[in-house]
Structure 1
Amino acid sequence: MQVDFYSKNILIVDDNKVNILVLEGLLEDEGYTSILSATSALQAYDILKKNNIDMILLDVMMPQIDGIEACRTIRQTPNYNHIPIIMITADISDETLRKSFEAGANDYLNKPVNMTNLKVRIESQFMNAHKDALILNQNRLLAVNETVQMLAHQWRQPLSIISTITMDIAVAYEFDELTAEHLDRSLNNINNAVQELSKTLDEFRQISNIEESTSLNNINDTVNKSIKLIEDRFESNHINLETDLQHQQDILYFPNELVKILISIYTNSIEAFKKTPHEIKKFIKISTKQNKDYTYIEAVDNAGGIDKDLINRIFDPYVSTKDEKNAVGLGLYNAFNILKESMHASIKVTSQNSQTTVTIKIPNTK
């Protein structure tokens, strides 16, 4: 895999300008051409806002805001949390390394920095980031594919209406019963069905867009949008929908990505209900809540639960909760990766007493 890393933007953060000059010299000698620097965490945050940074070399020991705290802040900011961070420190104690990795660091370098170590670790992190980006894009495309399948389902009813009306017009014409009033009413009904098709297409086109950055949104609005796009499938499968959406403050996340993930979760529930006895009262309960640190979305169904052996592997690729031969088992795998990589969020699935609960946990970034 030939990838040019030498033109990527590397940010050096160190309160000692001599250390910055040394690192800049080493990187330039190796062929890197775009190097930025900051002498404090606050200055680094400002550079991140104004530039597309691909790698951060972050000193641990800095006044005011140290490197570990700066690393933690970057990891909690959705627009930057994907950037590889290599900590640079003279303190290689177990405690410092533990705190660095817990804060979200990808790797570390000892001071004084050795050129060979610097080169190998930077290239390794760039390669990992490149692979992660490919996987994330693949996950997003697979999520779009699920959305297209949902669109096809949404179109069936209005297309069926149009087909029925045109057949009715043809029969009325054949028996010389097609009056002007009959034709006008039929054309009006066809137009209404076409408008519904157009509206649905616009909604799905919007959520299919791949977002480049997070935006400030309300989780309840996103949940309601996801429900609207699939509520006809709840009705056609006789599933009772219950909601408990508590008041939310707006937070930063990817709303279109979240809509697609929620639709995938609902679809899993709908498919699971097809294997349950017809006499049970089917339900899906969707709730939201928020505390000072996190926002939660919870979806509960009574579709029979998930086997213990399967639930431990449910986020693995190609593991499916469905029995169909064409079930590829990528829905929850995609959800897990998109939430983790794009929003620094998490997803958990539990199952007990024929009920399955899916919980999404998103940090309250504003």
Structure 2
Amino acid sequence: MDEKYSVLVVDDEPHGFDVIEAHLYREGYELHYAASGMEALSSIDSFEPDVILLDVMMPQMDGIEVCRLIKSDTYWKHIPIIMVTALSSKEDLARSLDAGADDFLTKPVSGIELRARVRSMLRIKQQYDALEATLRLREDLSNMIVHDLRNPLTSILMSGSLLMDSGLKGKDLERVELILSSGRQLNSMINDLLILAKMQSGKMILNLAEVELSDLATKALSQFSGVAASKKLRLRSQLKKLDHPVSVDANLLYRVLDNLLSNAIKFSPPDSTITLEVDDPSDLVTDETASHQATIRVADEGIGVSEELQQRIFDKYEVGSPINSVPQFGLGLAFCKMVVEAHKGRIFVEENKPNGSIFTVVL
């Protein structure tokens, strides 16, 4: 065997480990032992097991609860878990499956069956690791390409700005304005992708500072006055001066406002109103939101978001209802969600009756 695999055995009875060790000693695995569920959870980082053999009947914390906790951890949930049990009740087996167990062994343990099931779980783990490596490579290549796009795009934007100052008129001026507008949109998408990549890799550091939220919102809203007028949309603001500054990463939060307002304009019909509101979170105070400092809402009168889609509209690459001539990439709202959650806040969408949507950010 070229690679030495790690197997963690969790059993409150040392004899249980001795039996498994005797059955597996010729397989060349690196065996680790934990005498309780708590010990397994505290040592899993150091053992880094490829497979876990988990006894069900243990004092203080049984194997089903240990399994549930491991499977709820993003970093460890992919590790195959074989439940080792003397239970024969279908209800107990169902509880184990619900907790995330991948396979079962019944006591007394058969050596042939144990070795076969461990090998089976290792094959699954190998396939998962290979897929993860492929996805990481693809993500790294995508990030490199996105990063390299910035240099030619910067040249396009600089050249477009110079042409704007060269005295162009009529159709020529309109064409250059279109080039600049499209270039800025592309630049915004590239920035979103790069920030998403940093956040997903855990390398994003928030530059927190106390800001006046209404001033930041006013600045974000003002940049859309021209495009809103061209689409015959009304921009309205209800920006309360909060009696306390809010500690945020101003650049990232500005991009959240930019994304939400851009979406609202994109999906709003002519002669409708888009409202940007900043307020206290008083009407949303619950045990969960009591520590929050402010609420931001962006309301439109567009096509709205279906109730079913509201649950996944913030997922990466998830898009709303297709609309002709409206590009949708499913990155803007995923970006917003990651930024808001990095600030320990939350974001959600509701209906704006009779028509449209309200995107709410609670900070």
Please classify the TM superposition score into its range, dividing by the shorter chain length.
Answer: 0.5 to 0.7
Q: 2:272 matched to which residue of 1?
A: 280
Larger mean Cα displacement after TM superposition, 236-245 or 20-29: 236-245
Q: Is the 8 A contact 1:143 1:331 kept in 2?
A: no
- Are 2:125 and 1:126 aligned? yes
> How far has the Cα of 1:112 moved from its partner?
3.3
Higher relative contact order (CA 8 A, sep 6+): 1
1:74 is displaced (CA, Å) by 2.7
- Counterpart of 2:8 (choices 4, 8, 11) is 11
- Mapped partners of 2:96, 2:361: distance in 1: 26
Q: Say whether 1:20 aligns with 2:12.
A: no
Give the TM-score, by structure 1 length.
Answer: 0.54
Residue 198 (structure 2) aligned to one of 198, 201, 209: 209
State how many pairs are aligned: 299
Letter in structure 1 aligned against 2:48: N
SS in 1 for 2:273: coil
Q: Do residues 64 (structure 1) and 65 (structure 2) align?
A: no
Distance 2:106 2:137 in 1: 36
**Which is further off, 91-100 or 319-328?**
319-328
8 Å contact from structure 1 (residues 151, 204) kept in 2: no
- Alignment check: 8 A CA contact 2:259 2:333 kept: no
Contact kept? 2:51, 2:122, Cα under 8 Å: no
Instruction: Report the TM-score when normalising by structure 2.
Output: 0.54
CA distance in 1, matches of 2:207, 2:285: 12
1:96 has 2:92 as partner: yes
Mind listing any 5+ residue stretches in structure 1 that lack a counterpart?
169-200, 248-254, 339-345, 362-366
- TM superposition shift of 1:305: 0.6
Deviation at 1:210, TM superposition (A): 6.3
Instruction: Return the match for 1:111 from 73, 87, 107.
Output: 107
Report if the CA contact (8 A) 1:10-1:53 is conserved.
yes
Distance in 2, matches of 1:85 and 1:241, equals 54
Q: 1:130 to 1:220 in 2, by over 3 A?
A: farther
Equivalence map 1:172-191=2 (5 Å): none
Instruction: State whether structure 2 residue 62 is matched by structure 1 residue 46.
Output: no
Separation of aligned partners in 2, 1:233 and 1:149: 31
Kindly provide the CA deviation profile for residues 110-155 of structure 1, in whole angstroms up to 9, marking residues without a partner as x: 3334236513541354156336636864896699599869979x96
Q: Which residue of 2 aligns with 1:306?
A: 305
Greater displacement, 75-84 / 310-319: 310-319
What CA distance in whole angstroms lies between the structure 2 residues aligned with 1:216 and 1:134?
A: 25
| Matched AA of 2:197 | S
**1:279-332 deviation digits (Å, cap 9, x = unpaired):** 322146798977469x99997642421357977996797865343679576549
Q: Which runs of structure 2 are paired with 1:192-341 in the superposition (5 Å)? A: 208-209=197-198, 211=200, 231=220, 235=224, 267=259, 270-271=262-263, 273-283=265-275, 291=287, 301-302=299-300, 303-306=302-305, 321-323=321-323, 331=331
Q: CA deviation at 1:18?
A: 2.3
1:93 Cα offset (Å) = 1.8
Contact 1:320 1:329 survives alignment (8 Å): no
Aligned partner of 1:176 in structure 2 is none
Which residue of structure 2 aligns with residue 355 of structure 1? 356
Instruction: Determine if contact 2:193/2:331 at 8 Å carries over to the other structure.
Output: no
Listed one character per residue, the Cα deviations across residues 219-246 of structure 1 (whole Å, up to 9, x for unaligned) are 999xx9xx99x9589746556688999x
**Kindly tell me: are residues 349 and 323 of structure 1, through their superposed partners in 2, closer, same or farther at Cα, counting changes over 3 Å?**
same
Once the two structures are aligned, what percentage of the paired residues are identical? 23
Identify unmatched segments of 5+ residues in structure 2: 168-189, 229-234, 339-345
Compared with structure 1, are the counterparts of its residues 272 and 206 closer, same or farther at alpha carbon in structure 2 (3 Å cutoff)? closer
- How far apart, CA to CA, are the structure 2 residues paired with 1:289 and 1:321? 32
Contact 2:8 2:47 in 1 (8 A): no
Partner amino acid, structure 2, of 1:18: H
Secondary structure of 1:209's match?
helix
2:356 maps to amino acid? Q
Change in CA separation of 1:351 and 1:143 when aligned onto 2, cut-off 3 Å = farther
Per-residue deviation, residues 237-281 of structure 1 (Å, max 9, x unmatched)? 556688999x9xxxxxxx9xxx89x97997487346324223322
Say if 1:324 and 1:207 are closer, same or farther in 2 by CA, change over 3 A.
same
